[in-house]
């Protein structure tokens, strides 16, 4: 049984946020490599830039051996020319020495980046490695077929490669990592059963809030808002839970923080995202924002933005407007 077969049997999904079946992506790269006869590349996406998400940094610090093993398994299975660990400069300074202990002579290289949040998007990171402006590409074609230097390319995040190593070692137990922060007593990164509910995660990690609260799940900017009666679902997205107490939350300020993050992270490539974030920021700084217009802008951004950043602005803002009194 090949490692791809084992990944498929384990039903592993990507841990970067999209939740795409890992075996399907690996097979697509393998097939494209055989068909085109072009070199195959593997990229470990370690540029964890979403606020409130720190699970990949935790794995780089405490489980570098498994992460590197997972990358080598991909290189071997896909017959890749080389692999690249794509990481923010400040994080690479911290983790490079430990990772290097487990890297044999080639073919794994480091690529330090400082392009920010958007570089976590797979086509943007590929553009950056190629020396181009840090902007997303049009898809399709997908990186599995036309990726780095026009070649078939596998892009998985740190936790995904860690899970692959565990599967190969027969140690995978259908778990995933979650960052828990905010108004909690025991913040940190925890390994939990993949299908455990959100309330179950809070209870298991001894972080169940007292008083009225809501969660932001999947990230500290792009994560969706869930109220206390919506927590029977499992964790999704990038793997984070941020707890907010209603009594200590200033809704307008929280929304301003999200928009400020998106404003600074914006690449400016497409008008809906560029202008939309600017107008949302402008409205939130008014004494009386036009909430109706803001909703229209958010819906437009969701429907026609070029890349996931523009689309992701809709999720936290709209779910917040629908569930929390922001006036």
Q: Choose among 244, 249, 215: nearest CA to 232.
A: 215
> Residue 193, preceding bond cis, omega within 30 degrees?
no
CATH of the domain at 74: 3.40.50.11540
pLDDT for position 69 = 97
Per-residue pLDDT, 98: 95
- Name the burial class of residue 211, with classes exposed (0-12), middle (13-18) and buried (19+) by CB atoms within 10 angstroms of its CB: exposed
- Residue that terminates a domain, selected from 193, 228, 247: 247
Q: Are residues 184 and 305 in the same domain?
A: no
The residue among 212, 247, 282 that closes a domain is 247
Residue 229, class by beta-carbon neighbours within 10 Å (0-12 exposed, 13-18 middle, 19+ buried)? exposed
Is the domain of 117 the same as that of 81? yes
Residue 197's domain is classified under what CATH number? 3.10.20.600
Q: Please report the pLDDT score of residue 312 as a whole number.
A: 85
d(CA 195, CA 147): 32
Domain range enclosing 55: 3-168
Cα distances (angstroms) measured from residue 199 to each of 16, 52, 102, 206, 234 = 22, 18, 37, 10, 9
Instruction: Say what the pLDDT of residue 327 is.
Output: 63
Asked if 199 and 287 sit in the same domain, the reply is no
User: By C-alpha distance, which of 34, 57, 37 is closest to 47?
Assistant: 57
For residue 310, the model assigns a pLDDT of 77
User: Which residue, among 63, 71, 114, has the nearest Cα to 92 in the 3D structure?
Assistant: 114
**326 is written with which tokens?**
């922001």
- Block residue for tokens 């084992």: 6
For position 129, what pLDDT does the model report? 95
Task: Give the chain's domain count.
Answer: 3
Residues 185 and 227 in one domain: yes
| Residue that finishes a domain, picked among 168, 185, 204 | 168
Say if residue 149 is in the same domain as residue 188: no
Alpha-carbon gap, residue 49 to 312, rounded angstroms: 14
pLDDT of residue 270: 80
CA 145 – CA 36 distance, rounded (Å) = 9
pLDDT at residue 106 in the model:
76
| Cβ pair 177, 191 in contact under 8 A | yes
191 and 143 in a common domain: no
Residues recorded for the chain: 327
What residues of the chain score a pLDDT lower than 50? Answer: none
Q: What Cα–Cα distance (Å) separates residue 156 from each residue in 87, 262, 264, 274? A: 13, 23, 25, 28
Same domain (yes/no): 7, 137: yes
Kindly state whether residues 147 and 9 are assigned to the same domain.
yes
Residues 8 and 87 in one domain: yes
Each residue's pLDDT tens digit, 59-98: 999 999 999 999 999 999 999 999 999 999 999 999 999 9
Whether 190 and 79 share a structural domain:
no
- Check residue 41 and give its pLDDT: 98
* Whether residue 287 is found in the same domain as residue 240: no
Same domain? 72 vs 138: yes
pTM for the model stands at: 0.94
């Amino acid at each position: 049984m090949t490692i791809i077969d084992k990944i498929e049997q384990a039903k592993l999904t990507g841990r970067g946020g999209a939740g795409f079946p890992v075996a399907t992506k690996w097979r697509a790269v393998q097939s494209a490599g055989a068909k085109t006869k072009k070199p195959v590349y593997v990229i470990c996406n370690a540029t964890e830039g979403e606020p409130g998400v720190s699970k990949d940094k935790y794995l780089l610090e405490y489980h570098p051996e498994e992460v590197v093993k997972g990358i080598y398994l991909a290189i071997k299975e896909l017959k890749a020319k080389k692999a690249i660990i794509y990481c923010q400069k400040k994080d690479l300074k911290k983790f490079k020495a430990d990772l290097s202990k487990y890297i044999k002579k080639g073919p794994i290289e480091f690529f330090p980046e400082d392009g920010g949040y958007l570089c976590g998007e797979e086509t943007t990171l590929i553009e950056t490695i190629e020396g181009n402006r840090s902007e997303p590409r049009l898809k399709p074609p997908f990186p599995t077929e036309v990726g780095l230097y026009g070649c078939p390319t596998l892009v998985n995040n740190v936790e995904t490669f860690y899970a692959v190593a565990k599967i190969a070692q027969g140690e995978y137990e259908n778990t995933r990592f979650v960052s828990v922060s905010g108004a909690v007593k025991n913040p940190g990164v925890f390994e939990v059963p993949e299908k455990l509910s959100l309330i179950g995660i809070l209870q298991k990690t001894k972080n169940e809030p007292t008083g009225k609260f809501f969660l932001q799940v999947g990230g500290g900017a792009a994560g969706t808002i869930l109220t206390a009666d919506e927590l029977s679902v499992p964790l999704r997205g990038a793997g984070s839970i941020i707890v907010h107490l209603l009594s200590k939350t200033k809704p307008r300020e929280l929304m301003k923080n999200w928009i400020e993050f998106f404003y600074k992270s914006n690449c400016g490539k497409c008008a809906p995202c560029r202008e939309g974030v600017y107008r949302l920021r402008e409205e939130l700084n008014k004494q009386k924002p036009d909430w109706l217009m803001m909703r229209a802008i958010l819906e437009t951004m969701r429907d026609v933005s070029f890349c996931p950043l523009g689309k992701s602005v809709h999720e936290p803002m709209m779910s917040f407007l629908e569930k929390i009194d922001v006036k």
